[in-house]
Structure 1
């Protein structure tokens, strides 16, 4: 589904990710992990097709049906839209940005909200939602995109254990349906319990494979050391 060939992504001439080579197979459920500043969000944004200031090497994504779940901080919850209208954005590929939602579309939105535990929330404004409810709404919108490749940036940040458990079950269901799921994750215990695979980076690739093996103490220590060394080098060069 995704292939990296000596990929380097940079901002202001400083690589956020460099010389990354590898692949993510179709149907994978994989966590993208690493210390803060390791380049995880930059990498997943590049996979999603967002422009990066500078890119060298190769990045191939073998589908155009990509679903994207951003961090909550990127959502303007003061925008005057209700939950139904926001979730219905997931249907844009089918009905167009200015197409009428219709009875079928409203039914799909209602089903998606019920699936994430928010039946009857359609008329509420985004500003009235808690953090956990907003995250469920983002998952509902992603469900309607009917994507082959689902990309999620910190999908469980600032949500409680129950919400995390229920939304994690959705990721497992999507994988069982044959979708490829890539998620930026910080909760390493959750990754070990739930994700079959992990890709550990520290601006460069540290390890990839079964999550419990990748997240060994030795690999995590190496990731911290590599990132610290790279940061020190940049500071000395400045």
Structure 2
């Protein structure tokens, strides 16, 4: 299974969010994407999912269909005012096998109940997601990932604004998934979490600053360079001119 970005530039209104990024993510391994605010970290995940189209370069997902990717967006991007139950939210993780209108059956319901028990939410099935605390809702999203049973898991700021106990419990799933041979790519903003739970890190500041073993990537020099680039990046950077052969 190959998961790679090859010379990828992604722009919003032709202003680059990530610029000529190349990175190959190790299969069956957990990798953190780390960097300053506005570094393009979430853009990487959206590009891997196919939500964003590269201006240059391409994404390689050899041996993997996008239906086999479990993607967790930032919780703030999810509308929790919808009248949806915890169980219904978890069951959406089965869509890749049942389709949007397929039934999950008794076995699927049992899997969903077990996923909720695994994340510490046994008995929450009938609650509305709008009733939950931020930490409880994040546990629901992790249960949905468990339900999906995907070989590639993409997490976008999975522990933002979550209490320490919930963060500790959910970080254990990163280790679990890695032990099960799954590939995890997580956007994180907490330096200590990255160092404690991820052996490999992509340090990003719209371009690749460093990529490799975490202890050699998260050095003072690399972090200073990333922050300098982020601080001095132009509010309106030049339009990225894409040669016709690269845009094709």
Normalising by structure 2, report the TM-score. 0.91
Aligned to 2:167: 164
Return the match for 1:88 from 91, 98, 103: 91
More displaced 10-residue stretch of structure 1: 92-101 or 11-20: 92-101
Query: Quick check: 1:14 aligned with 2:9?
Result: no
Post-superposition CA distance 1:116-153 (Å, at most 9, x none): 01111101000110000000000000111111110000
Report the Cα distance in structure 2 between the residues aligned to 1:113 and 1:11, rounded to whole angstroms: 38
Report the Cα distance in structure 2 between the residues aligned to 1:49 and 1:7, rounded to whole angstroms: 13
Quote how far apart the aligned CAs of 1:233 are. Answer: 7.2
Quote how far apart the aligned CAs of 1:228 are. Answer: 2.5
Report the Cα distance in structure 1 between the residues aligned to 2:43 and 2:58, rounded to whole angstroms: 15
Aligned to 1:55: 55
Post-superposition CA distance 1:152-185 (Å, at most 9, x none): 0000011111111111101110011111000000
- The CA RMSD measured in Å over matched residues stands at 1.4
Aligned to 1:123: 126
Query: SS at 1:165's partner residue?
Result: helix
Query: SS at 1:57's partner residue?
Result: strand
Report the Cα distance in structure 1 between the residues aligned to 2:183 and 2:209, rounded to whole angstroms: 22
Return the match for 1:227 from 227, 230, 237: 230
Report the Cα distance in structure 1 between the residues aligned to 2:18 and 2:31, rounded to whole angstroms: 18
Report the Cα distance in structure 1 between the residues aligned to 2:25 and 2:148, rounded to whole angstroms: 21
Report the Cα distance in structure 2 between the residues aligned to 1:14 and 1:33, rounded to whole angstroms: 21
Quote how far apart the aligned CAs of 1:203 are. Answer: 0.5
Query: Quick check: 1:149 aligned with 2:152?
Result: yes
Matches within 5 A, 1:16-95: 16-52=17-53, 55-62=55-62, 63-64=64-65, 65-95=68-98
Matches within 5 A, 1:104-123: 104-123=107-126
Report the Cα distance in structure 2 between the residues aligned to 1:19 and 1:102, rounded to whole angstroms: 46
Q: How many residues align?
A: 234
Query: SS at 1:200's partner residue?
Result: strand
